[in-house]
Amino acid sequence: MKVNKSKRIEETLFKVLMWVAMAVVFGFVISVIWTVFSRGAKAMSWDMITKLPGGGFYIGKEGGFLNAIVGSLYIVGASTLIGLLISIPVVFYLNVYLKKDSRLAYVARLAFDVLFGMPSIVYGAFGFSIMIYFGLRTSLLGGIIVITLLIIPIFIRSMDEATRNFPRDILDASFSLGATRWETLKVVVRQIAPGIATATLLSIGRAIGDAASVMFTAGYTDSIPTSLSQPAATLPLAVFFQLSSPIPEVQDRAYAAALVLTVIVLLLSIGGRFITNRFSKNKL
Amino acid sequence: MAIEVQNLNVHIKDNHILKNINLTLPEKQITCIIGPSGCGKSTLLRTLNRLIDGTEGVRLDGKVLVDGQDIIGSGPEITELRRRIGLVSQRPCPLPMSIFDNVAYGCRINKMHKRHKALIYAVQKNLKAVGLWDEVRGRVRTPAARLSIGQQQRLCLARSLAVEPQYILADEATSALDPISSKTVEDLFVSLKNDYTIIMVTHTLRQALRIADNVVFMYLGEVVESGPAQQVFHHPQQELTQKYLSGAFS
Amino acid sequence: MLRGRIVKDKMAQGLMCLLTILSILFVLVMAVGLYLKSAPVLEGRSFVSLITSSEWKPMKGEFGFLPFIVGSLWVTFLAILIAFPISLLTAIYLTEYARPKVRKLVFPALDILAALPSVIYGVWGMLVIVPWISSHVAPHFMDFSSGYTVLAAGIVLGVMVLPLLVSLFIEVFSSVPIELREASLALGATRWQTAKKVVLRKTLAGMLAATVLAVSRAMGETIAVLMVCGCVIGIPKGVLEPCYPIPALIANNYGEMLSMPLYESALMFAALILFAVVLVFNLLSRIILYRIERKEA
Ligand SMILES: Nc1ncnc2c1ncn2[C@@H]1O[C@H](COP(=O)(O)OP(=O)(O)OP(=O)(O)O)[C@@H](O)[C@H]1O
Ligand SMILES: [Mg+2]
C-alpha cells in the first residue's frame, strides 16, 4: 500500500500543476481582454469611429480614427479577395491534380508551412525593398500586396486541411459522370465551403491585426486614401503610433483603437469557431 | 479467488452495451468468451480491469467481485486492481522502449523490486516463462519494436506476468499472429493456468474447444449460456448457442 | 465541345501548376532579394564580424549586430521558459485527462489568445506587465527600473506563443495510439505515469519540433516586443535590463533607413538573419512533424 501512496501523491501533484497551468492560461486571457476592454471603454466615443483626425488631433484635439478603420478595411478586403483567388486553385491543384504522395505536393506544403512561419517583419522588409526597387512609395497598393502575400499561406494551409479529409468518392463520382477535373472544382468548392469560410475569417483576422508589414508598405496618413498610390492608415498602427505619444488624450485614442481591433478580431474568431466548432491547428 | 459478476450493466452514452450479466469465472482455469462480433466481449473484459473507465460517457451498474471485493463503485484503488489483473490485447503493443524496460516497466511503476539485481532476475524469469529468453538474451537492451509480431505478443505477456497478477485477460490475443506463433502463445496460456485465472476472448471456436475449461457464450450484450466447456460445446441448452456452434451466424 | 472542355482543363491545370510553383519559388525569391539588399553591408565586412561586434554606429558605418542578436536570444529564451511548462501541462491535461466539456471550455480560450494581434499584446504589456515589473519586481533588485525590460518582453512573448505550443503539443500527443496508453494503464500505471513514461517518451522528437517552431515564432514577433522591450542598444546583462531584439531594430528604424548610406543594407541584413533562422528552424521541425503525422496515418 505504501507504493500506492507515492504513486497517488505524484498523480495528485501533477494534476494540481496541470490545473494551475490551465488557470494561468485563463488568467492571461482574462487579463488581456479585461485590460483592453476596460481601458478602451473609457476612451471610446462615437466620434472615434466616425470622424477623421481633425486639426490638432495629435495634441489631443478633435477627431477620431476613421481613417485607420477604413484603411484597414480597404487593405484587408482587397487582399482577402486576391488571396482567395490565388489560394483556391493552388489547394485544388494540390489535392485533386496531384497524387497523395506527390513530391511536388510535399515540397509545396513544406514551402507554405515555412512561409506561414515567416515573421511579418520579414515580409514587410522584403516588400519594402521591392517597392524601393520599383520606385514605389508607401501606398495602399503596397499594403495590399504585402498583406496578400502574408495571408496566402494561411489560406492555403487551412483550406488544404479542410480539403485533405475530403472524401475522394465524391471526386470519383464527378469524374465518372464525365466531368473534367476543372469542372469538378465547382463540386469541391461547394463541399469545402465551410473550410473556405473558416480560412477566410482566419486570414482576415491575421490581416487586420498585422502591423509590422504594413508599417513598411502602407505607411500612415490622416485621410482616407482615394487611390491605390496613396498611403493608408491601419488600425494596428493607429494603436502603435498614438500610444507612443506623450499626450494622454492621444494615448486614449490608442486604447479606443485597440478596443475596436480586439472586438473585430474576437468576432472573427467566434465566427470561425462557430463554423467548424473545433480547435484547428490552422488557427495559429 | 474467483471473479463473480452480478447484474452487471454497462451503458455507453445511450447504448446499453452489456445487459444484466451474471457470471462466475472460476479460479485457475481458462474461461473462453465466445460470441459474434460486437456482442460485448471486449467490453466485458475491459470492465473487469476497469480500463473501460477511459471510454467517454460510460456508466457501470451492478457488482463485479474480484476476490470477494466489489470493484465497481468506490472499491479498491484502480491501479492496484489493474496490477492484479493482467491484460494481453489483440495487437501486440510494446511500449516505446527496450525489451528489458518493457518487462521491467510494470515492476518499476509499482516499485516492486527494491534492488536492481532482483529486477534483472524478475525480467529474466518472465522472459523465460514466455519462452522468449533464449531468443532475445543478447539484445534485451534493444528496442522492443524490432521483435517479430509473435515475439512482441509474448513480450506483452511477459510484461503482464512481471507485475505478478492473479488474473490474465486476453482479448483475441492470437488473432493477429501467424499460425505458429499463435500455437506457441496458445500453449503458453495452457501452461499458465496452473498459476493464473485466465479469461480469454476468442473468435476461433476451435481454439476455445482446445483450451477452454469453461465457456461463456454472449450474444447482443447478454450472456446466453455459460458453463463447463464439455457441457456448452456438446450439450448446449440454448437454441442460440446451438446455432452459433454450428456456424449458423459467423 | 469535348475538345474545348479538355483544352480548358489542360489550361487550368497549367495555370494552377504555375501558381503552385510560383508560391514555392517565392521562398527563394525572398532569400535572394534579402541577400542582394544586404550585400553592400557585407562588402568589406565579414559575416562573422558583423554578428560578433557590438559597435552600432550607423553614422560611421559601423554595424555590430551582437546586442540585437543577444537581445533576441534573451527574449526568446525567456518566452519559451515561460510558455513551455505551461503549455506542456495544459496539453497533457487536455489529451490525457480532460473530458470533452473541459476541452470545450479551454479551446476557445486558446483560440482567443491565438487570434489577438501582436499590437494588442503590446498594449497589454505596457498597461499590465511593464508597470508590474517596475513597481513589484524590479524594486527587489535595483533602485529603479522603468519596467521596459527583457522580462517584460519575455512574458508578453511567452503568452503569445502559448496557444501555438499547446496546439502543437496536442497534435503530437494525439499521434500516440490509445492502445499504448492502455497497455501502460493495464499494468497499474497512473495516468500521469503513463503520460510521463509512454506519451512524452514516445513524442520527444515531436515535442522538440514543436518547441523549435515556437522559438522561431517568438524570434520574429515584432510590434509587441518593440512596445515593451525598452529599445536600448546594448547587451543586456540580466532580465531586468532593457534590450533591443532584431525585429524591433528593423521596425523602429525603417523611417531613417534611406537617410544614411548602408543603413538600409544593414537593416536588410538583419531581416536576412531572421529569415535564415526562421527558415532553417521551420524546415527542420516541419519535416519532423510530417514524419509523425504520416506514421499516424
Ligand atoms: N466507445 C463506444 N461508444 C459506443 N459504442 C461502443 C463503444 N465501444 C463499443 N461500443 C459498442 O459496444 C458493442 C460491443 O463492443 P465490443 O467491442 O465489446 O464487441 P466485441 O464482442 O469485442 O466485438 P469483436 O468481436 O468485433 O471484437 C458494440 O456494438 C460496439 O459498437
Ligand atoms: Mg473485441
For residue C175, the CA-to-ligand 1 centroid distance in Å is: 23
Instruction: Answer yes or no: do C197 and B105 touch at CB < 8 A.
Output: yes
| Res. A54 pLDDT band, cuts 50 70 90 | confident
Could you count the other beta carbons within 10 Å of the beta carbon of residue A223? 15
To the nearest whole Å, the CA of A3 is away from the closest chain B CA by: 6
Interchain CB distance below 8 Å, A8 and B80: no
Cell 515561460 locates to: C82
Three-state secondary structure call for residue B10: strand
Note the Cα B91 to chain centre separation in Å: 13
What does the alpha-carbon distance between residue A211 and residue C119 come to, in Å, rounded to a whole number?
7
- Cα separation, A102 vs C285, in Å, equals 20
Coil, strand or helix: which one is A192?
Answer: coil
The model's pLDDT over A129-181, given as tens digits with 9 standing for 90+, comes to 888 888 888 899 999 999 999 999 999 998 888 887 777 677 777 777 767 76
Q: Quickly name the fold that domain C50-296 has.
A: MetI-like fold (1.10.3720)
Partners of residue A6 in chain B, C-beta under 8 Å: 111
Q: Whose CA is nearest to atom 30 of ligand 1?
A: B38
pLDDT, residue C190, reads 92
The β-bridge relationship of strands B167-171 and B197-201 is parallel
B33 Cβ closer than 6 Å to some ligand 1 atom = no
* Positions of E strands within B108-196: 167-171
pLDDT for residue B249 is more than 60: no
Asked whether the ipTM of the predicted complex exceeds the cut of 0.95, the reply is no
- Calculate how far, in angstroms, residue A164's C-alpha sits from the geometric centre of ligand 2: 30
Give the number of C-alpha atoms closer than 13 A to the C-alpha of residue C250, restricted to the C-beta side: 35
Q: Are B212 and B32 in contact (CB under 8 A)?
A: yes
pLDDT of residue C1: 56
Is A110 buried (19+), middle (13-18) or exposed (0-12) by CB count in 10 A? middle
Residue B45 near ligand 1, beta carbon < 6 Å: no
> CB contact, 8 Å: B58 with chain C?
no
In chain A, residues with a C-beta closer than 8 Å to the C-beta of C227 are 240, 243
Q: Is A167 exposed, middle or buried (0-12, 13-18, 19+ CB in 10 A)?
A: exposed
Q: What is the pLDDT of residues A230-275, one digit of tens each?
A: 889 999 999 999 998 888 888 988 999 999 999 999 999 888 877 7
Query: pLDDT band at A283, cuts 50/70/90?
Result: very low
Extended beta strands in A19-115, E state = none
Determine the Cα–Cα distance for residues C82 and C121; give it in Å rounded to an integer: 16
Contact B105 C185 (CB under 8 A): no
Beta bridge partners of B5: B23, B64
Instruction: Tell me the best of B10, B15, B218 to mutate to test the pocket of ligand 1, counting ligand atoms within 8 Å of each CB and taking the most.
Output: B15
pLDDT at A281: 43
Which triple of cell numbers denotes residue C46? Answer: 565579414
Q: Which CATH number fits domain A57-283: 3.40.640.10, 3.40.190.10, 1.10.510.10, 1.10.3720.10?
A: 1.10.3720.10
Residues of chain B in contact with residue C190, where contact means CB-CB under 8 angstroms, are: 79
Residues C32-58: pLDDT tens digits? Answer: 999 998 888 888 888 888 888 888 888
* B250 part of a folded domain: no
Q: Which of B125, B135, B6 is nearest to B71 (CA)?
A: B6
Nearest protein CA to atom 14 of ligand 1, as residue: B40
Ligand 1 within 6 A of B37 CB?
yes
What is the 8-class DSSP label of residue C139?
G
Convert the pLDDT of each residue in A1-20 to its tens digit: 556 788 889 999 999 999 99
CB contact under 8 A, B79 and A7: yes
User: Strand locations in chain B, DSSP E?
Assistant: 3-12, 15-25, 30-34, 58-66, 69-70, 85-88, 167-171, 197-201, 214-219, 222-228
Q: Does C182 touch chain B (CB under 8 A)?
A: yes
For residue C4, give every residue at least 6 positions away whose Cβ sits within 8 Å of its Cβ, in sequence order, or none: none
| Spatial distance between the Cα atoms of B203 and B189, rounded to a whole number of angstroms | 16
Which positions ≥6 away from B76 have C-beta within 8 Å? B69
At how many degrees (to 10) do helices A193-209 and A66-92 cross?
140
Q: Which of B80, B86, B95 sits opposite C184 (nearest CB)?
A: B95
Closest CA to A239 of A266, A208, A205, A271: A208
CB contact under 8 A, C99 and B56: yes
Q: A279: pLDDT confidence band, cut at 50, 70 and 90?
A: very low
In angstroms, rounded to a whole number, what is the distance separating the alpha carbons of residues C35 and C44?
15
C-alpha cell at A27: 488568467
B110-152 pLDDT, tens digit per residue, is 888 889 999 999 999 999 999 899 999 889 999 999 999 999 9
* Short-list B65, B67, B42, B66, CA closest to B55: B42
pLDDT computed for residue A284 by the predictor: 45
Report the pLDDT value the prediction gives residue A122, as an integer from 0 to 100: 94
Over residues B42-99, the pLDDT tens digits come to 999 999 999 998 888 899 999 999 988 888 876 678 888 999 999 999 999 999 999 9
Best of B42, B202, B244 for a ligand 1 pocket test (most atoms within 8 Å of beta carbon): B42
In chain A, what are the domain boundaries? 2-43, 57-283
Helix axes A103-117, C2-42, angle to 10 degrees: 50
Report the predicted TM-score, pTM, of the whole model to 2 decimal places: 0.92
The answer to whether residues C119 and C224 touch, using CB atoms and an 8 Å cutoff, is: yes
Q: Which helix (H) or strand (E) element contains residue C150?
A: helix C150-174
A97 DSSP 8-state letter: I
Model pLDDT, residue A282: 43
How many helices (DSSP H) and strands (DSSP E) are in chain C? 14, 2
Segments forming the whole domain that contains residue B15: 3-245
Domain CATH code at residue B168? 3.40.50.300
pLDDT of residue A280: 45
**Is the Cβ of C185 closer than 8 Å to some Cβ of chain A?**
no
Which residues does chain B have within 8 Å of residue A4's beta carbon, measured at their own beta carbons?
A: 77, 79-80
> Which atom of ligand 1 lies closest to the CA of B41?
21
What is the percent of chain B where pLDDT is above 70? 98
Cα(C152)–Cα(C232) distance, rounded to whole angstroms? 14
The one-digit pLDDT tens for each residue of chain C (297 residues) are: 567 777 877 887 888 888 888 888 999 999 999 999 888 888 888 888 888 888 888 888 888 899 999 999 999 999 999 999 999 999 999 999 988 888 888 998 999 999 999 999 999 999 999 999 999 988 888 888 888 999 999 999 999 999 999 999 999 999 999 999 999 999 999 999 999 999 999 999 999 999 999 999 999 999 999 999 998 998 988 889 999 999 999 998 877 777 777 888 899 999 999 999 999 999 999 999 888 877 765
Domains in chain B, number: 1
Q: What would the pLDDT profile of A59-113 be if each residue is shown by its tens digit? A: 767 778 899 999 999 999 999 999 999 998 888 888 877 877 788 889 999 999 9
Contact A113 C282 (CB under 8 A): yes
What is the whole-number distance in angstroms between the Cα of residue C83 and the centre of ligand 2? 41
